[in-house]
Each structure stands twice: as structure tokens, then as C-alpha cells.
Amino acid sequence: MRVLRIAKEGASALAGHKLRTFFMMAGTIVGIAALTVIMAVGKGTEKKVMKRVNAFGTHAIVITAGGGKGFSPPQAGITTLRLEDAEAIRSQIQGVDVVAPFAMKPDISTKAGSNQVQTRVMAVGPDWHDAWEWYTTDGDPITAEDNSTMARVCLLGTLSVSDLFGSQNPIGEDIQIGNVRFKVKGILEPRGPTPMGGEFDRTIVIPLTTGMRRVFNQDYITNIRVKVKDSRQIESIAEEIRHLLHERHHITPPREDDFAIFSAADIAKMARGISGTLTYLLAALAGLSLLVGGIVLMNILLISVGERKKEIGLRRALGATQGDIFRQFLLESLSVTIIGMVAGSVLGWAVSIALARLTQSPVVISWEPFALALAFALVVGVFFGVQPARRAARLRPVEALR
């Protein structure tokens, strides 16, 4: 093929000027590397976000007693969140599926035999399982009857099982929570890390009534978890709940809220964190490198057209058409950007992997950045190669040979 033979001519010109070729390539390498890192980090971040959102519950809104900006455990001493609030949400807000009030304390002393640990204890109603989509693997869930009889029964997370019982089967065994004796009636499904990096599985669950009266000794709750029917409405429903609670708690600005509301959307925002900013920075770097690299490429090619006038004239005299010369220079430009792209991709992968090790955050290596990089390489190569190639092709052989 004629084009292949001409491409070979271009390639040998590049190989003959290694340093110059490297400078022509540098911008593409940096740009494509940045692009690859963006995509790897971006995909990694999305994976992390999805994991956190899934851990939190994609349809979940959590109301926590006490104000504050971050997603944190309920503030002690806030007594204003009541079972009646949960009832009001259930009866007045459209689009909610399950409303599950609960009371929790992060560190209650629990004991089984000689093992004693500080554990999160959650006192929950019968709706809690559905609200959290968190059920038992062994034994039975907390029921309405457990609540109405103030039964002293509990469920253990898998880590709490190993904390208190080791590898022994805990079902039917007794444990002590605070000063009260409970019977283990079931084991919760493993749920993994919480959105904030704790462990869901280090949890003990007891009936809400039993917890409020016998363990926590309080007449208020600490949280309400709401499960919405349609996750797309999650933010508007959260806003409606906020209004309702403002009304019920007689809060008007500038008084601070005595509760905080978090939805899956808020969790996603927090999980994205600074990676959004980093992505914009890298995108700017990638764009700039490709642009500047392209301009440098074009200028070096233009200079090289000037330097190689005699060569161009000779080729024309020996029978090269304008098209042959045009293609040779365009192929030189394209080879530079495509080789630059391959080098940039490799560099980008290396940086991504290093970044993943360094920040302990997930980085996803996939084929998409490679495809995108190839597209960019072709665009840059053609866009900045056309002008020099055209200039070379238009040289008149008589003048070029002079």
C-alpha cells in the first residue's frame, strides 16, 4: 500500500530526530496521562460513593436528634425527638413507605459469660427491619409482640456474636445489656462498614419499648429512619419532613434545628468530597496539556517543514504528489500523538495505581480512558497536523529544491 510506504517515510523522519519527536509528544503524554488518572479516580470515587450509598440505603432518610452539620451519632441530652414525630411523618408525608423510630446509644456495656464489650445498642420497633432492609439469618426478628410485651430479647450483629460468644452459637443464650438480662433470639445479616467507616455488624438490637423503659430509661427517641417509595423524590421528601419537624418543634430561624436530616443524596455528596475538585483540576491540566502540546506539535512540525524543504522538493521531483506529501506530514503528526497516547496511558495507569496505594481509595482501571485517549490523540494529531501538512504539500518543487 502506497499509504503504508509513505507512513514508513514519516516514521523514519521521526526516528531520526528523537529529541524533537519527544518534545512533540510531551504535551500529549501529559494530557493523556492526566485524562487516564481522572477517569480511574473518577470511577473509583463513584464506586466508593455507590458503596457508601448502598450501605446507608438508597431509599433512606435518617432523622437524628440534635443539630450539627455532619452525619454523626445522636447528640446526648436532646429530648425533643418523639415517637409522635414519627407518627406525624407516617400520617402526613406523601411518598413514605416505612417510618421506623428507634433509640440508640453508641457504647453500652454488654456482657456474656466472662466476655464484656462496649457496643452500640439500638432499640427498635417492628418496622425497623423493613426500614433498614436488614433481617436475621438465624432465629427470629424483633416483632410487634416483643414491643407490646416489652420482651427482653435481642438480636446480635455478626461481629457482636464473635465479640461475646466467639464461635459458639448464641441463640437462646443470655447476655447482659447495661443491668438488664436479655435472651438472644436471632443473628442479623452481615452488613459491612457504615457510611462513616464504622462497623454495622457490631450492633445489638432490642425492642424499642424495652430499650426506652428498661435500658436507656428515657421517653424520647434518638432517630427516625424513613424509607421512601421512590428514590428520585428523596430530597423533596426530606425537605417536607424538615418543614413538619420545624412546625412540630416550634422552630423558626434563626433558632438552630434540634434535629438533622440525612438522605442518600447527602451521603453521596460527602463521599465525593474533594475528589470532585481534584477531577476539575486534572481535567483542566489534561485540556491545557493537550492544547499546549498540540500547539507545540504544530510549531515543531512547521519548523520541520521549513528545515525539510529540500527533502520535500526532492520527493516531489521524484514523483510524490501533493497528496503524498500531505499524508506523510499528517501521518507524522498522528504517529506522534498516537505514540504519545500510548505512553500517556501507561503513565496514567502507573500514577493511578500509585495514587490508589497512597490514598487507599479505590481506582478503577478500565478500557474507556484508553478509547477516549485514542479519540483525543486522533483529534489533536489531525487538528494540529493539517496546517503544517498543507504547507508542506503546497511547496512548489522548483522553490523547494533551490
Partner 1 sequence: MIELENVEKFYVAGSVETRVLKGVSLRIEAGEFVVIMGASGTGKSTLMNVLGCLDKPTAGHYRLDDTDMVNLDDDALSHLRNGKIGFVFQQFHLLDRATALRNVMLPLIYANEYPDDARQRAEKALTAVGLADRMTYRPNQLSGGEQQRVAIARALITDPSILLADEPTGNLDSKSGAEVLAIFQRLHRDGRTIIVVTHDRAVAEHADRIIVLKDGMVAEDQPVAHPRDADVELAAIAGKEAQK
Q: Which residues bind partner 1 (CB under 8 A)?
A: 2, 5-6, 9, 12-13, 16, 310-311, 313-324, 396-398, 401
Tell how far CA 210 is from the center of its chain.
39
Least Å distance, CB 392 to partner 1, is 14
Of 10 and 141, the one with the shorter C-beta distance to partner 1 is 10
Pairing label, strands 203-207, 115-124 = parallel
Torsion angle of C-alpha atoms 252, 257, 258, 261, degrees rounded to 10: 130
CB 395 → partner 1: shortest distance, Å?
12
Rounded CA-CA distance 315/52 in Å is 63
Closer Cβ to partner 1, 231 or 322, answer by number: 322
Residue closer to partner 1 (CB basis): 336 or 363: 336
Judge contact between 188 and 206, C-beta under 8 A. no
Sequence-separated contacts (24+) of 360-366 with Cβ below 8 Å: 361/41, 361/44, 361/45, 361/48, 361/275, 362/44, 362/45, 362/47, 362/48, 363/40, 363/41, 363/43, 363/44, 364/40, 364/43, 364/44, 364/47, 365/40, 366/39, 366/40, 366/43
Q: Which backbone phi and psi does 142 adopt, to 5 degrees?
A: -75, 130
Q: How far apart are CA 206 and CA 120, in angstroms?
A: 11
CB of 341 to partner 1, least distance (A): 25
Give least dist CB 9 to partner 1, A: 7
How far apart are CB 28 and partner 1 at their closest, in Å? 24
User: Residue 357 or residue 396: which is nearer to partner 1 going by CB?
Assistant: 396
Q: Give the span between the Cα atoms of 384 and 334, in whole angstroms.
A: 9
Cα-flanking dihedrals φ and ψ of residue 121, to 5°?
-120, 130
Pick the closer one to partner 1 by CB: 270 or 401: 401
CB of 300 to partner 1, least distance (A): 17
| One-letter amino acid of 221 | I
Q: Which is nearer to partner 1, 144 or 398 (CB)?
A: 398
C-alpha 116/C-alpha 109 separation (Å) is 7
Q: Closest CB to partner 1 among 199 and 324?
A: 324
Q: Write down the least CB distance from residue 338 to partner 1, Å.
A: 21
Which lies closer to partner 1 via its Cβ, residue 86 or residue 395? 395
Least separation in angstroms between residue 16's CB and partner 1 is 4
Nearest residue to 237 via CA among 226, 221, 250, 249 = 226
